[in-house]
Structure 1
Amino acid sequence: MSHPTNSDLAQGKAYSGHGVTVYYDARRCVHVANCVRALPTVFRPGERPWIQADQASAEEVAAVVRACPTGALHYVLTDDGPEQPEDITTVTLVPDGPLVLRGNLNIAGQREVRAALCRCGASSNKPYCDGTHAQVGWTSH
């Protein structure tokens, strides 16, 4: 089984800190805000730059990035390389929301470790969820 490489996952804008670089792909963010709640010293949506990766240890930043369900955030550790997939692939249906995947994924030819896929059909960033389901009133019932 091959694991994602730095070039596979390093998409979006880069924010570097001590021992870690965080990549943010705004097109995939649906503002779950796990990052902001877990580490507000690093993830500051009201400031520019909004990610200040040097305000916590590389390990703390990496742990919070791994909690991002959409894959909008990824990281590369200076000493250990890119984020690695979880050993077991999981699929979670979010009520009235996306299909959330974690594991060693290949989606539309792109290597991923986490992704939220559109279920409503209205996303402008298919196959990824962009939060449009809430705007169009889509439900999974």
Structure 2
Amino acid sequence: MTPAAPPTNDDLAQGKAYTGQGVTVYYDARRCVHVANCVRGLPEVFRPKERPWIQAENAGAQAVAAVVRTCPTGALHYVLDSQEAERPQEPTEVRALPDGPLVLRGNLVLDTPAGQVRDVRAALCRCGQSSNKPYCDGTHSKVGWTSSQE
């Protein structure tokens, strides 16, 4: 079986765009479960109490890209000017978070109600209650779901 080609810029450029010097950050609010790696990693760029909340011009492109890569859900992506898309992690990693989603990193092809999605990071629902399946939307914590219920 031939592995899928890595995602392209068009695959990853989903959600609202925020442009800075040399980088564009894309934010898909439906996939965000507020882990806040971005806010802790670059508080001068990711400012949830301000509008716009992403101020990509406040840091260098490489620093912004490095923090975006820490987003476990794939709610954040980036495209560097004049470069190819974010590269998938190799080998692909699948990790079940205790009492939370299944976190994937790698060259992903996901079947969703809207069709196939190519991505490099995703947090998938384990509780079965998400309103944004297959993605986690944080409902597990609202309904009291725990890993022991699997």
Give the TM-score normalised by the residue count of structure 1: 0.98
1:86 to 86, 89, 92: 89
Gaps of 5+ in 2: none
Q: Which residue of 2 aligns with 1:3?
A: 6
- 1: CA distance, partners of 2:132 / 2:30: 7
- 1: CA distance, partners of 2:144 / 2:81: 43
Q: Which residue of 2 aligns with 1:32?
A: 35
Q: Which residue of 1 aligns with 2:144?
A: 137
Count the aligned residue pairs. Answer: 141
SS at match of 2:24: strand
Q: Which residue of 1 aligns with 2:54?
A: 51
SS at match of 1:124: coil
Q: Tell me, yes or no, if structure 1 residue 125 matches structure 2 residue 132.
A: yes
AA paired with 1:125?
A: N
Tell me the percent identity: 73
AA paired with 1:24?
A: Y
Q: Deviations over 1:58-106 (max 9, x none)?
A: 0000000000000000000003232110121000010000000000000
RMSD: 0.7
Tell me by how many angstroms 1:6 deviates: 1.1
- 1: CA distance, partners of 2:52 / 2:86: 22
Structure 1 runs, 4 residues or longer, greater than 4 Å off = none
Give the TM-score normalised by the residue count of structure 2: 0.92
Moved more, 111-120 or 75-84: 75-84
Tell me by how many angstroms 1:27 deviates: 0.2
AA paired with 2:30?
A: R
Q: Which residue of 1 aligns with 2:78?
A: 75
- 2: CA distance, partners of 1:100 / 1:3: 18
- 1: CA distance, partners of 2:143 / 2:84: 39
SS at match of 2:147: coil
Moved more, 3-12 or 116-125: 3-12
What aligned pairs does 1:11-26 form with structure 2 within 5 A after superposition?
11-26=14-29
Q: Which residue of 2 aligns with 1:116?
A: 123
- 1: CA distance, partners of 2:19 / 2:74: 18
Q: Which residue of 1 aligns with 2:109?
A: 106
Gaps of 5+ in 1: none
